[in-house]
């Protein structure tokens, strides 16, 4: 992602058995922001991007142990957040913190998700 160089961070970093995944959002492969103000589309694209990072490390969403979701207009988007989370994780239940925020990096950005993965858990 171009943002790694632009902002000086990594998409993810391994620390022992854990992988810390930076906040993911609705970006395409070129780093262009997609789906301004469309919560459902951004959430789906964000989970796609999380899967890409997990795949890079050879892990799966079933190894995610915690996640933090940053949601603009949380009350309005609470049900969609819960539905998207259930659809993404299925029966797996990582710990989760959901924060309502007033704004995120890009105009029209309404969701960002970071997570921690335990590589010792079964995939």
Return the beta strands (E) in 17-103 as ranges.
Answer: 18-24, 64-72, 95-101
Q: What is the mean pLDDT of the chain?
A: 95
Position 9 scores a pLDDT of 83
pLDDT digits (tens, 9 = 90+) for 19-49: 999 999 999 998 899 999 999 999 999 999 9
Phi, psi of 108 (to 5 degrees): 85, 0
Position 8 scores a pLDDT of 75
Instruction: Please report the domains of the chain, with CATH numbers, ordered by start residue.
Output: 2-118 (3.30.1330.40)
Position 2 scores a pLDDT of 63
pLDDT digits (tens, 9 = 90+) for 57-99: 999 999 999 999 999 999 999 999 999 999 999 999 999 999 9
């Amino acid at each position: 992602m171009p943002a790694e160089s632009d902002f000086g961070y990594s998409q993810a970093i391994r620390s022992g058995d854990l992988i810390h995944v930076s906040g993911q959002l609705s970006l395409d492969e070129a780093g262009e922001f997609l789906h301004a103000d469309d919560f459902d589309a951004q959430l789906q694209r964000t989970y796609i991007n999380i899967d890409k990072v997990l795949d890079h490390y050879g892990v799966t969403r079933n190894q995610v142990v915690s996640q933090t979701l940053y949601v603009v207009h949380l009350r309005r988007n609470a049900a969609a957040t819960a539905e998207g989370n259930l659809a993404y994780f299925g029966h797996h239940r990582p710990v989760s913190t959901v924060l309502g925020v007033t704004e995120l990096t890009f105009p029209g950005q309404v969701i960002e998700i970071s997570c921690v993965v335990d590589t010792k858990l079964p995939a």
